Amino acid sequence: MDKWVYRFDEGDRSMLALLGGKGAGLAEMSRAGLPVPPGFTITTGACNAYYARDKLFPEGMWSQSKAALRHVEEQTGKRFGDPANPLLVSVRSGAPISMPGMMDTVLNLGLNSATLPGLCALTGDERFAWDAYRRFVQMFGEIVLGVPGEKLARALEAVTGRANGGRGNGAHREAGLGVPALRGVVDRFKGIIFGEARQAVPEDPEEQLRLAIAAVFDSWMNRRAVDYRRLNRIPDSIGTAVSVQVMVFGNAGEDSGTGVAFTRNPNTGCPELFGEYLTNAQGEDVVAGTRTPSPIGHMAEALPDTYQEFRDIARRLEAHYRDMQDLEFTIERGRLYMLQTRSGKRTGQAAVRIAVDMVGEGLITRQEAVQRVVPEQLDQLLHPVVDPAAAAPMLATGLPASPGAAAGRAVFDADEAERMAAGGERVILVRHETNPDDFHGIVAAQAIVTARGGMTSHAAVVARGMGKCCVVGCDGLQIDYGQQLFAAGGRVVSRGDWITVDGTRGAVLLGQAPTREPALDEYFDTLMGWADAQRALKVRANADTPADARTARRFGAEGIGLCRTEHMFFEGNRIDAMREMIMAPNAVARAEALTKLEPLQTRDFEGLFEAMDGYPVTIRLLDPPLHEFLPRHEETALTITDLKLKLRLAANLNEIDALLREINVKTAILAQIERLAEANPMLGHRGCRLGIVYPEVTEMQARAIFTAAVRSQERGLTVIPEVMIPLVAFVSEYESQEKLVRRVAEQVFASHGVRLAYTVGTMIELPRAALTAGEIARRAEFFSYGTNDLTQTTLGLSRDDSARFLPGYVQRGLLADDPFQTIDTGGVGELVQIGLERGRAARPKLKVGVCGEHGGDPRSVAFFHTAGLDYVSCSPFRVPIARLAAAQAALAAPAELARQAESVAAS
């Protein structure tokens, strides 16, 4: 750590962590003999030391920087601060992981009142020198001294004539400003800077450099950089490097320019040079959008020789790095200089095509192609997306619970959503939050928006499972159910108004923003085939309906890992039969009500077995507390009040009699709601506890499962039913329900004269179940970890209520991740491993999977692979993501073992 500074000729691509992406790229290009202006890089370690020393440069860094600067002077024959032959430099950031636009840059550093005449004399172009000085003063004032950029921009606009209705000196861009105007702009800038910062831009070039380096280090912790790292899960500890490089000038005339290009199209992956350039401009002009650049292909006409040289270098760099490159370049008086090469950011579609194409071109292997695509990028291929060119006003932002895009009319009630959808309307369901009673509205809606809730809330889980886009936790949404409207973003949206939901970004937009339907192509199929050949983990889907199951199979699911039977009860008029069962005064009446549901469940299970012909189907018995199937307390009480008001106004006996009967029915429902109410329902009367108290419910569901299985087998289908008993804490609970399931199975087999293989297992979603897994495994034939509830019960966190504060925990660094999105390996993950080890100690061939939302999270999938699970199960639209993540986990495991072996050998 004594060496804080590396000249470009001292580094290479292997020093990425130390020199950052920009520094390592510049060093590698320099070593390859490409036209790179000389310079040096201050390491990421220096950045970390800077913060560790309370924003003081580490010992020796500044002296090493000055020594490196002297070497650059020798290379160029120029001197930093020399009035006759001044050396000018740029100061740029560059972290090991690309963070485009998040940190700061200062150009033309070294100019002052003494060196400005020297630059004029050297170039023979006074206007160019003053324009360079104007740019330097503007950037230094904003970035280093903290002057609001808009104040400086307004001062420039007043001169160029873009402000004040075209008044000013008549020039409409900076390139049209003459020397007197530029002198005036610089003077105005200096006045604003001193007024705002109470200090002037330093005249001493070394002081300029020292302050600029510190400013780039400071930008590592600016808000946008921190937010970007939080969003992309980049650790603060990697730091940023700072590259100091000799300036080359793209604003030196019409034979000069600057540009950014990609060696392949970053949107589509097409193997074509893609980018833009500007003549007579510096780099920030392209980025800031102050001028409209031209497509890179136009450069072939204006500067054909330079364009061909650039194409050749681009091909050479892509072949060298074996990846699509993001390039920055400047042309000074016809001579090309390379300023950056790094792996380019790309869309999901482009990532897939580039990876597949590069295998065909012999640049990378199939295994490398599988590792090149970020699993989350596949979301972009599976859901509609809002057209990037859309200009719809933003109403609110929240959590991107389920990706995609949809437009529809705002509605605030599930019944209304169903009615309007049945009439052919596209609707968006807007709620404070949803519960299972809203299921039919969710089915009918194009998308769901909630003001409350987190990434694993009801709305989020159900929407992801159905492939519908969803935004939750929109704090800025003020919903008024009574007035049927919501207020957000300074606007009011009433029932029936059009809105667009962007579930990929977590945004709600006003009006009908145009969307694009993604299409899966042969590149996707090829990559996923390679991924499947590598992975050890099976991937199943959480699917509750035949339509979900068919979607899951289309995306490559190898079975159903979780069918939530309760969701079936909310379709159509089934909820009435379910409520009749709940209201029944005794077991006989309950059984009678259940006979109405049994044929419907049987038909649903047949649909699942048909969709999953030859693959296992895990069906969870009824899990949620019964009160979730009843109307909300407040709605029922209001209905009774309304009926009583109508009763007072009733004019005839028939109307009075009908109202009294309805009041009695609603009053009985209200009494049952109050009787079933629980202070903490998620830890109350639910799961296997329901089946123990109401065994007729378990009997009906088991009979429907095995009847459907037998009928499906008789039709020639290969049926593999797995019956899962939920929320088991004690093995005695499991034994009670298992005996009942097996007894019903034997009855069905006997009545049909047919037998088939099946298994009975349990969900591990309570800490006690994980700790006593050995005892439970002596009876259970499989385990499936319900990590949603296991996370709640282990951490003592409600997944819905904690959405109010957990994002703050992540933002403040108290937690690396939301534990409901990425598994808490140290706590919940430890219980998973304990349960796995103890379960397989008792039953060596115990099949173990996971069916919580973590089954579709790539980093969680990697943990489950390492832990030794057999499969993960996730929402149908996350199946491809889990397949790719499982393959990457399998490919990473040998590399990690090799690394550990090397470490052991070295020690």
Residue appearing with tokens 């000074």? 332
Separation in Å, CA 774 to CA 355, 724, 731, 839, 841: 44, 17, 10, 4, 7
Annotated active-site residue in 383, 440, 458, 567: 458
Tokens standing for residue 207: 């002081």
Q: Which long-range contacts (CB under 8 A, 24 or more apart) does 271-280 make?
A: 271/357, 273/297, 273/311, 273/314, 275/327, 277/329, 278/250, 279/254, 280/175, 280/250, 280/251, 280/252, 280/253, 280/254, 280/256
* Catalytic option among 851, 854, 865, 874: 851
Residue 161's Cα: distance from chain center in Å?
42
Nearest to 874 by CA among 577, 489, 538: 538
Q: Is 270 a catalytic residue?
A: no
Lookup: tokens for 819? 């534990």
The one-character DSSP state at 470 is: E
String of b and e for 54-69 (b: at least 16 CB within 10 Å)?
eeebbeebbebbeebb
Measured CA to CA in angstroms, residue 798 lies from 409, 454, 628, 767 at distances of 32, 10, 17, 15
Beta bridge partners of 763: 784
Q: What share of the chain is helix, strand, coil (3-state, %, to 5)?
A: 50, 15, 30
The helix/strand/coil state of 457 is: coil
Instruction: Give the residue among 460, 459, 464, 429 at the shortest CA–CA distance from 444.
Output: 429
Task: Determine the Cα–Cα distance for residues 448 and 405; give it in Å rounded to an integer.
Answer: 11
d(CA 339, CA 342): 10
Structure token digits, residue 85: 């032959």
CA quadruple 286, 287, 291, 295: dihedral positive or negative?
A: positive
Q: Structure tokens of 729?
A: 């804490």
In angstroms, how far apart are the furthest CA atoms of the chain? 108
Give the alpha-carbon dihedral of 614, 615, 616, 620, to 10 degrees.
Answer: -110
DSSP state, residue 12: -
Neighbour count for residue 25 (Cβ, 10 Å):
29
Instruction: Calculate Rg over the CA atoms of the chain.
Output: 33
Residue 502 to residues 399, 587, 807, Cα–Cα distance (Å): 10, 48, 20
Q: Catalogue the long-range contacts made by 121-128 (C-beta closer than 8 Å, 24 or more residues apart).
A: 121/84, 122/85, 122/86, 123/252, 125/252, 125/253, 126/179, 127/178, 127/179, 127/182, 128/249, 128/251, 128/252, 128/253
- In angstroms, rounded to a whole number, what is the distance separating the alpha carbons of residues 600 and 619? 15
How many Cβ atoms are within 10 Å of 173's Cβ, its own excluded?
A: 12
- Ramachandran assignment for 427, one of left (phi > 0), alpha (psi -120 to 50 degrees), beta (any other): beta
Strands 257-262 and 274-279: antiparallel
Q: List the beta bridge partners of residue 189.
A: none
Residue 412 phi/psi, 5-degree rounding, is -120, 5
The verdict on whether 458 is a catalytic residue reads yes
> Are the beta carbons of 248 and 265 closer than 8 angstroms?
no
| Residue among 108, 107, 111, 109 nearest 83 (CA) | 111
State residue 383 phi and psi, 5-degree precision: -130, 150
Query: Which sequence positions are flagged as catalytic?
Result: 458, 851
